[in-house]
Structure 1
Amino acid sequence: MTAEDTRNALHAARRRRWTLALALVFMAGLALVLLFLLTLATRNRTFYEQNFSWLVAVNVGVAVLLALSILWLAVRLFMRYRLGLFGSRLLLKLAMIIGLVGVLPGVLIYTVSYQFVARSIESWFDVRVESALAAGLNLGRTTLDTLSADLSGKTRIAADELARMPTSSAVLTMERLRSQLGASDMVLWSGAGQALATAGASRFDFTPNRPPLAMLRTVKVERVVAQIEGLEDGNDVGSPPANVQARIKVLALVSAPGFELDDEPRYLQVVVPLPAALVTDALAVQAANREYQERALGREGLRRMYIGTLTLALFLSVFGAVLLAVVLGNQMVRPLLVLAEGMREVAQGDLSPKTALASRDELASLTRTFASMTQELSDARATVQHSMQQVDAARGNLQTILDNLTAGVAVLDGQCRLRSVNPGAARILGAPLEDYLGQPLSAVPGLESFGQSVRQQFETFLSDGDGVPPEGGHWEQSFELGEQVTSPQGQGITLIARGALLPNEERLLVFDDVSDMVSAQRARAWADVARRLAHEIKNPLTPIQLSAERLAMKLEGKVQPAEQAVLNKSVKTIVDQVDAMKRLVNEFRDYARLPAAQLAPTDLNALIRDILVLYDHAAVPVQTELADDLPLVMADAQQVRQILHNLVQNAQDAMTGQAQAAVRLRTRRSDGGPWVRLSVIDQGPGFAEHILKRAFEPYVTTKAKGTGLGLAVVRKIMEEHGGRVDISNRIAEGRVTGAQVSLSFAVAN
C-alpha cells in the first residue's frame, strides 16, 4: 500500500465516521420531533384528528428504519465474527455489554410505562365519571324544561287577557305584560302571519320573523307551544359561551272575544332570554359529555398512540445503545485493528507507510511507534534496493558491452565447462553455444580440437606457476580452425584467443576472428610477390620471344624438312609460352597495382546493358533480371566493367560444353538496408568445398591454366567500393545446380 493509498483510506474512514454521526443526529432529531408531535397530539384533539394518519405512518417508517439499522449492525458484527477478523470477538463483546446496559433499563422502563399508560387510560373512562356527566346533563335539561313550562303558563294567561281587548289597545297591554314576564320581545300575530302589535325589540323591526305556518297550526290545536332557541350555537367548536344568545320562545293562541265563527284567531309570541350563567353551565356540561363520549369511542386509538410513542422511544434507546456500543467498541479496537493490518502487510513484504492514529492513548501510541518502525524498515529496504539496482545496472551495462562486442567472450568453470557466453562467441564459432551451457567446450560439434587446445592452454598456464597464475595473468595463442569452422563466406577462420583466471576458480576466454586480417596480410604478401615477379620475369620475356623468332627466320630453308618442322614447332612453343608468361605477369601486375576506385553515382542497370553488347554472339548467352526501381549506386564504372567481365567469363568457362546453358545477371534492392545487390548466376558444377573456404586467396583456382587471381581482384575492388562480395553454391533437390557470386553496392545519397 502506497502513501497515497493510506491517505485515501484515512479520508474514507473519516467520511464514514462523519456520515455515521450525521445519520445519528438526523435520526435522533427526527425521533425527538415525532415525540414532540405525538405529545402535542395527545393534548390537542383538533391537531390529533388532523394529523393522526401521517404521524402514525412516519412513526412506523422511523421504527422500520431503526430496526433495519440495528439489524444491519448486528449482521455486520456477526459476519466479522464468522470471518475471524482480528478484534471481532472483542468488538462483539463490547457491543453486547454496552448494548445490554442500554437495552435492559429501556425494556424495564417500557414495561412499567406500558402498564401505567394502559391503566391510566382506563381510569379516564370510569363508570362514575360517565354517571356524573349524565346526571349533570339531565339536570340542565330539567331546569330548561321547568323554565319553558313556567313561561308557557304565564304566556297563556297573558293571551287570555289580550283576548278580551281589541287589537288597537293591545300595545299598551303588551308593554305592561312584557315587563311583568321579563320578556325581551312580544309580538301579536294574525292568523295570516301578520304582526298586529309589537312590544320590545320587535317594534323597531318593520318585518319581524313570523312563525312557520306549521307551528301556527300546532298552536291552534295545542293552544300553547314553547321552544328553546340558541343553545345549538354553543355546539360549534370555538364559539365562546358569552356570545351564545339562548332564549325561550313561547307561542300561545289568543281566542276571539265573541263566538262568531268567522272571527280570525290571533297568536301571542313571547321571547324571554335565558340567564347567562345557566347557559354557560348547560353548554359546559353538554361539551364535556360530548368530548367524553368521543374519547370513549377513541380510547383504543389513544392507547395505541401512547404505546407507539413508548415503543418508538424504546427503539431509539436501543438504537442509540447499540450504535454507541459499536462506536465506542470500534474506537477501542481500532488501534488493534490498525496494528494487525500493518503486521499482516509487513509479513507480506509491504513496507508502505502505515496508518498512525493521532489520539494520545497508549494504543494509538503503539500505532505511531509501529508506523515509525515500518518507515525505517522501508528506508533500509529502499537503500538495499537502490544498491541492487546499481549492481543490476552495472551488470546490465557489462552484459550490453559483452553483447555488442565483436570479440567472443566465454566464462568456463574449473573443468572447462561453459558457464556463460556472449553472442559474439556464437557468431565467430558458428555454433549455438547457449545450448551447451554446463558442458565442456569440446562437446560442441566441430569444436572438439579447439576445446581440447583451450583446456591444455589453461593447464599449461596453471602448471607454470604451480597452480598460481604467473606474472602477466593471462595466456595468448592463435588457432587455425580450418575445416572445423567456416566464416559466412565459407572460408576457414583464424582465431586469436586469450585466457585468464576469475574468482571462484572460473576461467575467462576471450577470442577474436582475425581471418580478414590474415587474409589482408596474405593479399599484401601476394601483391609484393606479384610486384617482384612482374619485375623479374617481364624483362627477359621479350628478348626470349625475339630470339626464338629470329632463330626461326635465320634457319628458314636451311635445314631438312623434318628438322624444319621440329624447329617451327619449338619456336611456336617458345612464343606461346612467352605469351602465357606475359599474361601471367600482367595479371600479377594488375593485382599488385590496382588503381584507387573513383566512386560516382552510377546506374548499374545501364552499365550492365552496355556490357551485354559484347556477349551477343557468345557460345554461352547472358540473360538479365534487372529490377525496375533500382536506385543509383556509388561505383567506379570502369572497375565494375572489369569485375563483370571477369565473373561472366568465369561463369561461361564453368558451363563450356553444356547445352541450353546461360549466365544470368540479376539486380535487386536489399531489404536489409541501403544496398543494391548484383548477382552473377551460372548453371555449372559449382565451387568445391575447399575452394569455397579459400576462394578469395591468390592462386586458388579450378582452371588448368588459371592463375587464381580473378576473385582476389574482385574482392579487392569491392573493398575499395566499401561493399562486399559473397560466393555460394545453388542447391536444389539435394544437389548443386550452379554457382552464385553476389556483389553489394551502397546506394548513392
Structure 2
Amino acid sequence: MSGPPAPAPVERRSTAGRWAWMVSLLAVATASGALAFLLSIGATTPQGFFERHQAWLYWVNLGVGVLLGLVVLVAAVRLMVRVRRGRFGAQLLGRLALVLAAVSLLPGLLIYGVSYAFVNRSIESWFDERLASALEAGLNLGRATLDSKVQDLGAQARVGAQRVADEGGASPALTLERLREQWLAERVALLGPNGQVLAEVSDLRDATVSPGLQPAERVDPALLRRAARDGSTGRVEGLEDDGHGGRHARILVVAALPNTGIKLTGDQRYLMVLQPLPVSLTTNALAVQTASQEYQRRVYERDGLRRMYLGTLTLVLILAVFVALLLAIQLGNALAKPLVLLADGMRQVAGGDLTRKPVMSSRDELGGLTRAFADMTDQLGQAREQAQQSMAALEQARARLQTLLDNLTAGVIVFDREQRIASVNASATRILRQPLAGLVGAPLDQLPALAPLHALVWPRFATLTDGAGPGLEHWQLAQDLPLPNHPAPLTLLLRGAQLPDGQWLLVFDDISELVSAQRTEAWGEVARRLAHEIKNPLTPIQLSAERLEHRLAAKLAEEGDRAMLTRCVGTIVNQVQAMKQLVNEFRDYARLPAARLAPLDLNALVQEVMTLYPDAIEQGRLLPQLEPGLPWIQGDASQLRQVIHNLVQNGLDAVSDRPDGRVVVDTKQSRHDDGSVRAVRLTLTDNGPGFAEQVLSRAFEPYVTTKSKGTGLGLAVVKKIADEHAASIRLSNLPPAQEPTASDAPTGGARVSLTFSQLAPQGAA
C-alpha cells in the first residue's frame, strides 16, 4: 500500500482556521471567567463591592462584549467572502449560523425573563419571617433541653452527695465509681473546700476525655460558692463548634455535700460530676445554631446576591448568543470541508483516477465518510489479502480455543449421543479426583465413584429433548457429590447443554470453598446480630440485681433470707457474666479488628502464654519445645496471643480425660535450599482423641464443634486471624507412629500447624 498522501490545500486552511477558533474561544473564556469571578466576589461583600468597583466592572463588561463582537464580525466577514467566491458549502454555513442564532436567542430571552422573576421571588422567599421564627424556636428548644439536662444531673448529684456524706470516709472511691456507672458519667470527683481533689474516678476508655486534665483545673471557684449556697450548680461546656461536631460537649455539675454533725465552714466538701452530652443532641443544637447564623448572614447579603444572580443571568444570555454563532460557523466549516473533499474525489473518479484519495483527520461521521470513500478505491486490490488474513485468524482462533479449553479451571466433559465420554479436560480429572482420561469412549458410570454423577446429569439432559422443558437451551444446578476416600462431599455447580452436532456438554466447577465462605459470612452476620441483641440487656440486669441486694440486704431480718438473697443475686451475676463471655466470643468473631503487624518474637509470645498455665506445665501436661534463635515474624501480638491461648486450651481440654495426656507446643524454622529462612512454624500436638472425620473438613466454619459446651467459634476466629497474617493453618490427625508423647503413651491425637511466611526485616529484633 502507498504511504499517506500530502495534505490538500483544504487541510492547510483548516489548520489556520482551527488556530483562530481556539484563540477566540480562549479569549472569550478568559474574559467571561474573570467577570463571573468578580461577580461572585461581589456577592460575598454586597454592601461595598459594587459601589467601589462599579465603573471598573462596567468597563470589564463592555470589554467582554466588544471582544465577542469582534470575533463574530471577523467570522461574518470571512463567510461573506466565501459566498462571493462561490465556495462550496458557504451558503449552507450562512443559513446554519442564522438558524442557531435564532434558536439560542429566542429561548434564551424566555428563560432570562422567567429566571429574572424566579430569582427575585426566590431571594425574597429565603427571608420569610416564619423561617426566622422557626430558627429562633429551635434555638430556644435546644437551650431548654440543655438546661433540663443540667437540672436533672444536678438533682442526681445532690442525691449522690447525700449518699457520699452518709457513708462518711469509708471507701469513697468505690462509692464514686458506683455513682459514675449509674450516671454514665465521664468523671466523678470528691473535692475539698478549695477545689483540691480528695478522690476521683474516671472512665479512661472514653476517647473524648482530654489526657491529664485535672478536675480542680476545670472547676470555677464561683461554681463552688454557688454550690455551697444553692446545694448544686452546673453548666454546659464544650458546645462550641470546634470542628468535631460537638463530640467534646459535656455537663459539669458541682453539688455540696451536706454537713453531718458539727463541722466548720472550711470543711465543706463538694461532689463534681462531668457527664458527656449525647452526640445527636449536640450535633442538632450546633446545626440549628449554624442555620440561624447562615440565615442572618444571608439577610445581610440579600442585595449582593440579587445583583450577582441577575448579572450572571445577563452574562450567560450574551455568552449563549455569541457562542451559538461561533458554533454555527465552526459546524458549517466542519460540514463543508468533507463535502469539498468528496466532490473533488468524485470528479477524479469520474475521470478514471482510482488512486487513494485524501481523507479528513476527524473521527466523526463525515470524516468516516471520506475514509470510506478512499477505502472504496483500493478495496478490490485488498480483497484477496483480507481473505487470506481472515483464514489465518480463524485458524489461530481455533488453536486459541483449544488452548483455553485445556487450561480452564472448570471441568469440561463432552458426551456423544450414546452417553459415552467423547473428550475431557484436565480440570475435570482434578476436580473429580478420578482418571477420566482413561474413560474416553466409555460411559461415565463405568467408574463406581462417578455413578451418582451419571445418574444426576442424564435425566436433566433428557429434559432438553423430550419436551419436558420446552424452550430450554441448558440446565444448571448445584449439588453435593460424595466421593470415596474423601471426608466431605464436593459441592459442584453443574451446567449442561446440547451441542449443535447432537453431542452433550457438561461444565462443572468445585464451589465447596465458595459455599463454605458464604456460610462463614452468614454466620458472621448472625453472630454480630446476636451479640448486639443479647448484650444490651445484660448490664442493666446485673446492675439491677446488685442494687436489689444492696437495698434489701439490710432490710431482711432473717439471716436465712439474707443468705438466700445473696445466693440468688450471685447466681444472676454469674450467669450474666457467662452470657457476657458468650456475647464477647460472638463479637470477636463478627468484628475481628484488622491486624497491626509489627516485628514480633514468637518464642517470647509463646513463653508469655505458657505463664498462664503453671499447673499444666508443673504436671507435665503442657510441654513447650521452642527452637532457640528463631527469626522474628511480622505479627499482631494481641491477636496471636489469643490464637496460642485458644489452641493450648483446646489441646488441654482434649486430653483432660487422660491421665497421661500431654500437649506439645514447638516452634521451628524452615529454610530454602540456599540456607535463607523461608518461614516460621508453630505446631501444637496432643495425644487426645483427635478431630472427628465429619468435622475435620469443616473445622474452620463457625459453630462446627463436638464439644458439649463449645460454641464452635474458637477455630473460626483462629482461621480469620491466620488469614490476617497471611499465614497458612493446617489441621490433621496423627497416626500412631507420630505420637508426640513418651513411647509408652497411647496412640492417636491431633496436630495444628501455623506457618508464618511474613518475616520481620533483619535488625528489627
Q: With structure 2 as the length reference, what TM-score do the two structures score?
A: 0.42
Query: Which has the greater radius of gyration?
Result: 1
